[in-house]
Structure 1
Amino acid sequence: MGVEEIRVRAARTEEVDELLDLWARAGENASRPPDRPDLVQRLLEHDPGAVLVAVAGGRLVGSVVAGWDGWRANLYRLAVEPDRRGRGVARLLVAAAERRLTALGAERLCAMVLDDNDPARGLWSALGYAPQGEWRRWVREVPEGDGGAGATPA
């Protein structure tokens, strides 16, 4: 199937399970805690346009999250069905995500790319993105019941 047969649109709340399945098939859960349907559902309800999907033959074949908080624009979870890779699906998704984010006012786009994902690094580089060496992402998992910054007030 060629790129011309693929349509990009916002994900729908009823597609959460299919989206999670796509991420699993695409290997997008390998180095992070598994996503939960309720969290993806919350994202789609909070920002209905944030998750863009590529659809072919009525089936999700790719996705990207184009997050915008009113100040910063982040692209992540770029995932393409393994048998569709190398056919321009990722480029279509990124182009749609960039249009969305710049229409919202973004002046700078940030792509989250795993250091050891060489195919992804190659794609993002080909699209004009480059690593920002002076930054490193810091992550903290929020324990259940912890509503603050991880410290108990004295």
Structure 2
Amino acid sequence: MEREFKFLNSGKEFTGIPIIASSMDGVGTFSMAKILQNYKMLTVLRKHYEPEDWDNAVASGLDLNYVSICTGTNRIWDEDAPEFLTLKVVLEKYPEIPFITIDVANGYHENFVDFVAQMREDFPEQTIIAGNVITAEMTEELILRGADIVKCGIGPGSVCTTR
């Protein structure tokens, strides 16, 4: 099941199993990442970890090749949005983190597309995962604006609060 991927916008390559654990609170955890890294699977780590949490995880064996740091789009309205400031601090300390996930419940707004383009400009070395969208047209738009991987699927999951 392992395969090699080359990403259009970052130009980076990844070899692993194309299964990605979500950034949900109970799923996108350091403990999950440490298990999935053994199988060459990715984990999108939840947005609310502090830089010290990253330091502890790395010290205890986290393989940064199999994780994605995550942010929302709050930076659009607040330059000092905590999750974005954390992303900057963590990537300054660990620039080898290969993936950034831009996670929103519904990616159908112009600000989201513009944010993806800005993130591509700010972080040209990282592979960008962006979503959530459901149509081919928006998937194409996100790729054209800088995303390498697009998260598809919007739905009222049992714990979804954006219904």
Instruction: Tell me the TM-score normalized by structure 1.
Output: 0.33
Bigger Cα Rg = 1
